[in-house]
Amino acid sequence: MKNNKKMVRLLSLVLISLVLLTSTLLILTNIPVHRFNIYNSDSISDVEDENVEIISVKSSDYNDQYILLELAVAGEISDETNYAYSMFIIGKSSETGQTSIIGTTEYYDGEAINKNTNENLETTIVNDNVLQILYPKATFFSPFYMIGLEGKATHHNSDNIDLTKEDRSGEISTLL
């Protein structure tokens, strides 16, 4: 009889542990997180000016405070005032499923600006044709989570504008 009680207690403990473990896993699999690692290529030869001909836009998790945004062109990233390069961070609401632009950067006249806060951003030009911008994660706001990245390059004194394809159909990633 004592062995039966011990067996029942042991089985009850195992069952409770399994229920708690399953509940924890269900909770963790539904915690939304940002999709920081995104790469989108663009059609080449859709504009005449190589300095606005976007090859790709890319984002990656840089550290606890920043994501690294990159925009590559076929020519060179120009510091001339006639050229502007923008990246748009696309977010989706975990509550409504609505998508919108949750962050915008613009590189113009040699400086990058966070268009949401009007603060200057740290930039680097790599091999003359890749613009890298450190974008602060602290500017993201709940309930929106990053799901996409789009780019735009413009020459203001001409009709040369290049836009990457829309990247708004992604889903919100989850923790597990």
d(CA 145, CA 108): 27
pLDDT of residue 12: 85
pLDDT at residue 57 in the model: 98
Q: Give me the residue spans of the domains in the chain.
A: 1-30, 34-174
pLDDT band for position 26 (cuts 50, 70, 90) = low
Residue linked to tokens 């997180």: 33
* 55: DSSP letter: E
Cβ atoms within 10 A of the Cβ of 107, count?
24
pLDDT confidence of residue 175: 78
Q: What is the mean pLDDT of residues 97-103?
A: 96
CATH architecture of 34-174: Sandwich (2.60)
Q: What is the model's pLDDT at position 158?
A: 86
DSSP β-bridge partners for residue 92? 99, 145
The two structure tokens encoding residue 57: 């836009």
| Tokens of residue 25, six digits | 């896993």
Q: Do 77 and 100 form a contact (C-beta atoms < 8 A)?
A: no
How far apart (Å, rounded) are the C-alpha atoms in residues 87 and 152?
Answer: 6
Q: How confident is the model at residue 134 (pLDDT cuts 50, 70, 90)?
A: very high
